Amino acid sequence: MRRFLSIFLIAAALLALAACGSKKEESAGSLYDSIKEKGEVTIGTEGTYAPFTFHDKQGNLTGFDVEIAKEVFKRLDIKPKFIEAKWDGMIAGLDSKRYDMVANEVAIRPERLEKYDMSEPYIVSKAVLIVKEDNNEIKSLKDLKGKKVGQSLDSNYRKIAEQNGATNTVVDGFNQSIDLIAAGRIDATINDSLSYLDLKKQRPELPIKKVYEEKEATENAFLFRKDSGKLKEEVDKALAEMKKDGTYLKISEKWFGTDVSK
């Protein structure tokens, strides 16, 4: 009787594990299936981070990340619906299933990959240190010790600044940090080199300058909830096709004048 009971319990446990596994696979597949059925995917983005995601003079949401995402889902015959959110609440919005994914220059980091799925990288960039034009004290990251910076709360740039001894003032985004530098309220900010170049092009009168640029580039990707399964797979396939047929390069050159995938 005991032997029969033990065999029964082991069999029940194996069935439970199999059910969990199939449920997990079903869940991973069902997200993409439900998106396909609706014909719509929801995408979290800032809408205030030029040239990646911002509003043009007509008020339309545009930018490199927005255009890449639109092309990806055009190929998957799915309509993208963008939901705007501040950066510091964006990943929480993904966690709470407010949207299906995030398209907003999200850096690929080991700690993120532990909790989330990320697509293949679609852009690489370098971090730059920006100060006021007349600031001659700060020339490198080590000069941030005891200085005030402006970074988003969940930004990897905030961690870099604080690791170098800076005190952070939480900002909503890049533009706010630049305004605080110009007003003399903070000393510096670390941000994306491509954003800096675009800002200088759009607002050449700003009294700011770049004093340092990282040697190593950072890879950025679309962000998904863990076990996104087929959704990530299909997005990766579409990105690969775009790079192969020249569509990616066309979009990249439109926004940056060069190939920003490498």
| Structural domain of 228 | 9-120+221-256
**14-39: pLDDT as tens digits:** 444 444 444 444 444 589 999 999 99
User: Can you give the pLDDT at residue 13?
Assistant: 47
User: Can you give the pLDDT at residue 201?
Assistant: 86
- Mean pLDDT on 135-163: 94
In-domain check, residue 3: no
In-domain check, residue 178: yes
User: Can you give the pLDDT at residue 155?
Assistant: 85
Q: Are residues 103 and 203 in the same domain?
A: no
The pTM of the full predicted model, rounded to 2 decimals, is 0.79
- 7 pLDDT more than 70: no
49: domain CATH number?
3.40.190.10
Q: Are residues 141 and 97 in the same domain?
A: no
Q: Are residues 112 and 235 in the same domain?
A: yes
**127-147: pLDDT as tens digits:** 999 999 999 999 999 999 999
Q: Are residues 13 and 113 in the same domain?
A: yes
Annotate the chain with three-state secondary structure. CHHHHHHHHHHHHHHHHHHHHHHHHHHHHHHHHHHHHHCEEEEEECCCECCCEEECCCCCEECHHHHHHHHHHHHCCCEEEEEECCHHHHHHHHHCCCCCEEEEEEECCHHHHHHEEECCCCEEECEEEEEECCCCCCCCHHHHCCCEEEECCCCHHHHHHHHCCCEEEECCCHHHHHHHHHCCCCCEEEEEHHHHHHHHHHCCCCCEEEEEECCCCEEEEEEEECCCCHHHHHHHHHHHHHHHHCHHHHHHHHHHCCCCCC
In-domain check, residue 199: yes
User: Can you give the pLDDT at residue 29?
Assistant: 59
Q: Are residues 94 and 52 in the same domain?
A: yes
User: Can you give the pLDDT at residue 103?
Assistant: 98
User: Can you give the pLDDT at residue 18?
Assistant: 46
User: Can you give the pLDDT at residue 150?
Assistant: 97
- How many domains does the chain fold into? 2
In-domain check, residue 1: no
